[in-house]
Chains A and B, each alone.
Chain A
């Protein structure tokens, strides 16, 4: 049986009338990188705050390494490091002093500061005040704070937010190295599929507080199905026409339509249908869904189901 670094059972949290996290059952294996994916406002940060004991769930339970968080938060947090949203830094202190504050609180050996600075490549700038740091440097120092105690579990909430492309690349490389070089399990939240698919071995997709998919990247990719890409000069009318005829169709950002159809016969039928409605078809082709299509299908499907309910 596979060991889990994180397990949640029926995790639920409301803010007033709004259900932020709804009956969430996560299982992040004790190895590799778990990508926790969802659009903004999906419930990722609320979930992470419950995983770290920052907020209490209304219902359900969090288990870290098999032990319930509610029963032993302090001992479990000794095995965890976290970077939640923006890094929590004291701008009037230097990078090294910021690490020293946490080191003193944890009673960790002094040598860990240089080690953490080395991992995030901040040794050269360690004695500069944090208010002089760039966004990327602050983010790396935030990661060094999370790594200071050599955690078995590293929880990172949107760690590339606000970084420039070079910073994103650097942070991604760093996160990718953590499981192999430090033996840490990384739980990483992001709203960018492209980011998660480059780093994560396991993925969970959350939308409107509910978990829509959980499994390995390969299992998510196996959900790829062929579909039809249709180009019509009147896309809105075409979507209505196809939906009325029982096809699942949606507009894409590039103006083309994606239709859930998988054969040449379907393509011919759809073409006839649109042409008979005097719609001008200029492109029709079968294609395989990208991960982004799967993600959008999962999240849009959930939104539509909610609206229908």
Chain B
């Protein structure tokens, strides 16, 4: 019950911030990019199958680039509102367990990432349908793979738990957008180099995209979920024990 109360309070804090709008803006950018990339393709190869290629490509861009940046922004917004006027001292003086506050903030970040991924799944279908209308030569692609899109959308989201936990802790722990954004941009940028390395399969910011690879799927999914839970517990313990000076 306490957690529901705190979640209820936390959602109000995000009113008039970018947090809810970004759920739609981020996937719209990726979907638009995919739409124009395929639409402008002069002559798709003979073996090109829209519903086999496009959802994987869209989820790939989402997982490697946009989702980590979205998580960076959302966690910075969710927790940044507490740093501006030192709201922590008011929150910690309320008769609310500190762990409930931390868990609520983490759950909101996870929910926003899930909602945005779901919007991307819907837009993926919409982009595919639009392309089959506009480019009749693509219309032989067969049935829409709703299950694959939703299943892999969920896997990408689950594998992102670790970076959600990392970003939640960073943005709760330190005030200001600079460090939170720096961590997210740095983590995402370094992923470009880590992708080709063998150890890249353990790199937190690559886990969401790694679930789209058969060889890396199991490691990415288990590390994302288990690592995410462990990182959340460590962050929560640190948060509960912290002095508010």
Contact = CB atoms under 8 A, between A and B. Distances in A.
Interface of A: 15, 49, 52-56, 73-75, 77-78, 80, 82, 84-93, 97, 100-102, 104-107, 145
B12 A54 contact: no
Main SS at interface, chain B = loop
Contacts of A77: 93-95
Interface string B14-56: 0111000000000000000000000000000000000000000
Contacts of B94: 77, 102, 105-106
Contact of A101 (B9, B16, B86): B9
28 contacts: A49-B245, A52-B92, A52-B93, A53-B92, A54-B93, A54-B244, A55-B245, A74-B95, A77-B95, A78-B95, A84-B89, A85-B86, A86-B85, A88-B87, A88-B88, A88-B89, A88-B90, A89-B85, A89-B87, A90-B87, A97-B12, A102-B90, A102-B94, A104-B9, A105-B6, A105-B8, A105-B96, A106-B5
Contact of B85 (A88, A104, A106): A88
B103 interface: no
Contacts of B17: 92
A53 B242 CA distance: 11
A101 B89 contact: no
Closest 9 CB pairs of A and B: A88-B90, A104-B9, A77-B95, A55-B243, A88-B87, A54-B244, A105-B9, A78-B95, A52-B93
A49 B92 CA distance: 10
Contacts of A100: 12
A80 B90 CA distance: 12
A102 B95 CA distance: 10
B12 A104 contact: yes
A52 B95 CA distance: 10
A93 B93 contact: no
B6 to A, nearest CB: 6
Contacts of A104: 5, 8-9, 12
B81 interface: yes
Nearest to B92: A54
A49 B6 CA distance: 22
Nearest to A74: B95
Which of B9, B86, B93, B245 is most buried by chain A, counting CB atoms within 10 A of its CB? B93
Given A53-B92, A80-B93, A88 B6 contact: no
B97 interface: yes
B12 A93 contact: yes
A55 B244 contact: yes
Nearest to B94: A105
Given A88-B86, A91-B85, A104-B5, A53 B13 contact: no
Given A54-B245, A84-B89, A86-B85, 20 more contacts: A49-B89, A49-B245, A52-B93, A54-B93, A55-B244, A85-B86, A86-B86, A87-B90, A88-B85, A90-B84, A90-B87, A91-B84, A92-B15, A102-B9, A102-B90, A104-B8, A104-B12, A105-B8, A105-B94, A145-B90
Contacts of B5: 104-107
Contact of A49 (B8, B12, B97, B244): B244
Contact of B13 (A49, A101, A106): A101
Contact of B93 (A53, A75, A97, A101): A53
A76 to B, nearest CB: 8
B88 to A, nearest CB: 8
Interface in B80-120: 81, 84-97
B18 to A, nearest CB: 11
Given A84-B90, A93-B12, A145-B90, A74 B85 contact: no
Contacts of A93: 12-13, 15-16
A78 B97 CA distance: 12
Nearest to A84: B89
Contacts of A90: 13, 81, 84-85, 87
Contacts of B87: 88-90
A225 B154 CA distance: 78
